[in-house]
Structure 1
Amino acid sequence: MKKTIFYLTCFAIAALSLNSCNKDDDQPTTLDTSDYSSDVVIAWIDLTLKLTKETPGFSPPVTARVYGYSGLALYESVRHGMPGYNSLEGQLTEFDSGTIPAIEEGKEYHWGAVANKTLSVFLQNCFQTASTEHQTMMSDLEAQYEEEFRNEASDAVIDRSIAYGQAVANAILAYADSDGQSECYNSNFPSSYVVPVGEGLWEPTSEANPIPLQPYWGDVRPFMEINIDNLLPVPPPAYSTDPSSDFYIEAMEVYNAVENLTDEQQVIAEFWSDDPGNTATPPGHSYSIMMQVLSDEGADLALTAEVYAKLGIGVHDAFISCWNAKYHYNLVRPITFIHEYIDNTWDIPLATPPFPEYTSGHSVQSGATAQILTDLFGDNYPFVDRTHVDRTDIDGSPRSFNSFYEFADEAAISRLYGGIHYMSAIDIGVEQGKLIGVNINTLQFK
């Protein structure tokens, strides 16, 4: 009897030892997405910011599209590890049920490895025109995290996770491509567009851009139709050259603001300029803020996926909504009006962007970002924006804010200081963006 117990004990110990060396893949140790670090996603966001800055063609609307669909891809890829969370299938425009492939029930997944593969596949497809050096950076980042994750789970689990990440990325790429904008970085200034001519209408502000940027972007498919159908802002003040008119008074406000610019206002104008080619553009600035907040929070992969998706959807729709308004009203820029009717020697601190004035893109996308982040983290959330800390061409010193609304207001008013927008485009633009953020909050993530 004692020998039997002895042999059974030895057998049990041996079995446990064997299991500790070779995981039984049919009896997984299930971890939720929240059990994983967000480091892999933060690394991909950081690289994406670099890519959008250094890859030709990634204008603000194009950049916002990348962030929108990559955020959706990330969320859908790791959602099965987030108990209580829903797919966004059936909630977004033309994003039908059955779009996202199913997981293998009862099998283990490493959600960090899923996220890594999903973002790698999706972003390498988006940045096909990136330099060879940048293509290598993407491949190396994927390989770095795959090697790290193989130390955390069996090869079978990692291989299954990689396959699932690939499948989800392919599904989102197909969904994204169905909006007809898969190569939108090549069509920022379409020669087919005929610039309307008339009193008070936009005119080119430089010889380099006789065609305005993305004139058809207002027709791009949004994630939420309500962000377009119900959000055309009220008209701007009626165009007039009468010095007593509201329009002329707004133009004088821009003129006087630039003529009396303080050193601090100059810093603000440059800090928020976020010009394509020199920066990751305005939506990139919003993503930089998001990344900093997530890092400060020590956010896990689940929270990061939710925030990334919500902000991406919001910023993407913000640019469609804004561009819909821009080309609906087609309003002349301050520099054109002021040169003709107030002061033909007037100079401004920033270059006027090559597209119509109303509403302000900075204002709309910042308002949407502020509303979404406020809904997630609260009304009184102090943070420090370090987006431009490494720049030497401007004063990129970190800027502190007591709330996300405060950052949005500063980003918006920066366009007055830069001589780029009238106040109505700024104020109404922020409110337009906030309404988009409110709409995003109605999505049933849970």
Structure 2
Amino acid sequence: MTIYSVRSWCIYLSMILVIAACSKEDQAPPKTTIAAAEFTPQSNAAAAVPVSWYQLEFKLIRETPGFSPPVAARALAYTGVALHEAVVWSDRYGHSLSGQLNGLSNVPRPEWGKRYNWELAANSAMADIIRNLYPNASAANQALITALDSTNKAAASGSCGADEINRSVNFGKQVAAAIYTWSTTDGGKDGYLNNFPTDYVPPVGPAFWVPTPPAFQRAMLPYWGNNRLMVRPASLETAGIAHPAFSTDTASAFYKAAYFVYNKVNTLTPEETTIARYWADGGGTFTPPGHMLAITAQLITDNGLSLTEAAKLFAQAGIGENDAAIVCWKYKYKYNLLRPVTYIQTYIAAGWNSLIGTPPFPSYTSGHATFTSAAGNILADYFGSGFSFTDNQKVAEGFTPRAFNGFQQMIDEASISRVYGGIHYQFDSQVGAQTGRDIALRVLALRY
């Protein structure tokens, strides 16, 4: 990538930034009680800073080797936590996630009585955490990180004095360093380097997963379910909800579930085919978690959320996606259920193939359903369950925007898309959506 193209990309992002006067907000005290007169309301345009970073992060997910859906979800989550902790002290009612998230403590606080520009703090924190979370990004994309950091800093500095600029930037860096250090202890730090560990030996038997067409790859991230959840469960994680018992009897629930997939793929309507392809989000895309965070960014921009509101919502959605990946992958490798293509080719129709490629990990439960339900329920909590919106995220890929009358409609469509695609049983999606909702409720129970 040339210097010109780096600058052009950053100019494109900076067009959404509004250069505002320097924010002169005093630091909130440790106990979030302070007279209203001591605060200056933030401009809603300040949310453009984190949105610009997420737009770059979606590009990084697409182009950086190893960022499969769980790895991407993890990076998006730590980005959101760093953002939240960098700006939470600008909100008199805000609560740090330190002491609430699993293993997170001693996150830096601003100096009492000092003035901070929270846009600068947010920008600095996001620049540093993203550099650390994508260490294998290409040189061109590393240059984009540096350029966006500089562009946002110039736009947000306004009339700030040098002391306030340095103090704000350094605080963001301190927060990012603390969040990154915490991230290194969760079990997933080097996941991007080892998506397909060679030491994993899958169980053998007619009900168990085997590599699937078209690539017949090894099992992806079989140990991801052992990673640390960000939100402590109210009780020890249960074994999950069991799927219908494996059977080849044509009268059994399992056979009927597989036959439903077989028949559905063979009789798809044009709209069902579009839905399957729209939600595919496979290799080389921003992945299902990235799709959810892209919708979050779009809604933040469309609805003019403030910096603190945006930070809260980005953090919630990211935490939900991270924990959705861990719980879903835990169940995938607990049950190790074979994919529909394996069952159908063996017991129903040897020449049958799914509409979209089957990903390289077990079927139960559905990652798409879990990811979309976790984020969708979090977004519904903020905007309202009946909030109508249009997802514009796939226009560049040739898709027409998809309009929804509420977040549950989005969850249902993304969940059934995997059945239309021929890669999941209906019960995979149904239980995945239930799991995602349970995760969302845990995330929403925290104080932000």
TM-score, normalisation: structure 1: 0.90
Q: Deviations over 1:300-354 (max 9, x none)?
A: 1011000011111111000101001100110000000000110011122100010
- Give distance in 2, aligned partners of 1:64 and 1:24: 34
Specify the SS of the correspondent of 1:38.
Answer: helix
> 1:294, 1:304 within 8 Å by CA — same for their partners in 2?
yes
| Identity across matched positions, percent | 39
Aligned to 1:113: 120
- Give distance in 2, aligned partners of 1:224 and 1:262: 41
User: Does structure 1 residue 42 correspond to structure 2 residue 51?
Assistant: yes
User: Quick one: structure 1 residues 60 and 23, their matched pair in 2 at CA, closer, same or farther if it must change by over 3 Å?
Assistant: closer
Number of residue pairs aligned between Structure 1 and Structure 2: 418
Matches within 5 A, 1:79-118: 79-96=88-105, 99-118=106-125
> 1:36, 1:112 within 8 Å by CA — same for their partners in 2?
no
User: Quick one: structure 1 residues 117 and 431, their matched pair in 2 at CA, closer, same or farther if it must change by over 3 Å?
Assistant: same
Aligned to 1:204: 211
User: Quick one: structure 1 residues 84 and 36, their matched pair in 2 at CA, closer, same or farther if it must change by over 3 Å?
Assistant: farther
> 1:23, 1:154 within 8 Å by CA — same for their partners in 2?
no
> 1:227, 1:436 within 8 Å by CA — same for their partners in 2?
no
- Shift of residue 199 of structure 1? 2.0
Specify the SS of the correspondent of 2:115.
Answer: coil
User: Quick one: structure 1 residues 288 and 207, their matched pair in 2 at CA, closer, same or farther if it must change by over 3 Å?
Assistant: closer
Matches within 5 A, 1:188-227: 188-206=195-213, 208-226=215-233
Residue identity matched to 1:347:
N
User: Does structure 1 residue 287 correspond to structure 2 residue 293?
Assistant: yes
Structure 2: gaps spanning 5 or more residues: 1-21, 28-36
Q: In the alignment, which of 309, 325, 336 is matched to residue 330 of structure 1?
A: 336
Specify the SS of the correspondent of 2:403.
Answer: strand
Aligned to 2:79: 70
Matches within 5 A, 1:263-302: 263-277=270-284, 279-302=285-308
Q: Deviations over 1:241-292 (max 9, x none)?
A: 1000000000000000000011100000000000121x10000010111011
> 1:73, 1:119 within 8 Å by CA — same for their partners in 2?
yes
Q: Deviations over 1:127-159 (max 9, x none)?
A: 111111111111000000111223231121111
- Give distance in 2, aligned partners of 1:228 and 1:261: 42
- Shift of residue 24 of structure 1? 11
User: Quick one: structure 1 residues 35 and 285, their matched pair in 2 at CA, closer, same or farther if it must change by over 3 Å?
Assistant: closer
- Shift of residue 229 of structure 1? 3.3
- Give distance in 2, aligned partners of 1:355 and 1:89: 34
User: Does structure 1 residue 391 correspond to structure 2 residue 394?
Assistant: no
Aligned to 1:442: 445
User: Quick one: structure 1 residues 32 and 162, their matched pair in 2 at CA, closer, same or farther if it must change by over 3 Å?
Assistant: farther
- Give distance in 2, aligned partners of 1:207 and 1:408: 27
- Shift of residue 74 of structure 1? 0.5
- Shift of residue 228 of structure 1? 8.6
RMSD: 2.1
> 1:243, 1:249 within 8 Å by CA — same for their partners in 2?
yes
Q: In the alignment, which of 184, 209, 226 is matched to residue 191 of structure 2?
A: 184
> 1:200, 1:331 within 8 Å by CA — same for their partners in 2?
yes
- Give distance in 2, aligned partners of 1:35 and 1:385: 22
Matches within 5 A, 1:349-360: 349-360=355-366
Residue identity matched to 1:349:
L
Q: In the alignment, which of 292, 309, 316 is matched to residue 303 of structure 1?
A: 309
User: Quick one: structure 1 residues 321 and 199, their matched pair in 2 at CA, closer, same or farther if it must change by over 3 Å?
Assistant: same
TM-score, normalisation: structure 2: 0.90
Moved over 3 A (4+): 22-36, 206-210, 227-232
Aligned to 2:9: none
Specify the SS of the correspondent of 2:418.
Answer: helix
User: Does structure 1 residue 163 correspond to structure 2 residue 166?
Assistant: no
Residue identity matched to 2:179:
I
- Give distance in 2, aligned partners of 1:385 and 1:107: 41
User: Quick one: structure 1 residues 66 and 23, their matched pair in 2 at CA, closer, same or farther if it must change by over 3 Å?
Assistant: closer
User: Quick one: structure 1 residues 272 and 442, their matched pair in 2 at CA, closer, same or farther if it must change by over 3 Å?
Assistant: same
User: Quick one: structure 1 residues 260 and 206, their matched pair in 2 at CA, closer, same or farther if it must change by over 3 Å?
Assistant: closer
- Give distance in 2, aligned partners of 1:120 and 1:198: 48
Aligned to 2:431: 428
Q: Deviations over 1:55-87 (max 9, x none)?
A: 110000000000111101100111110111111
Aligned to 2:262: 255
User: Does structure 1 residue 345 correspond to structure 2 residue 351?
Assistant: yes
User: Quick one: structure 1 residues 249 and 190, their matched pair in 2 at CA, closer, same or farther if it must change by over 3 Å?
Assistant: same
Aligned to 1:16: none
- Shift of residue 193 of structure 1? 0.7
Aligned to 2:16: none
- Give distance in 2, aligned partners of 1:427 and 1:25: 47
> 2:25, 2:90 within 8 Å by CA — same for their partners in 1?
no
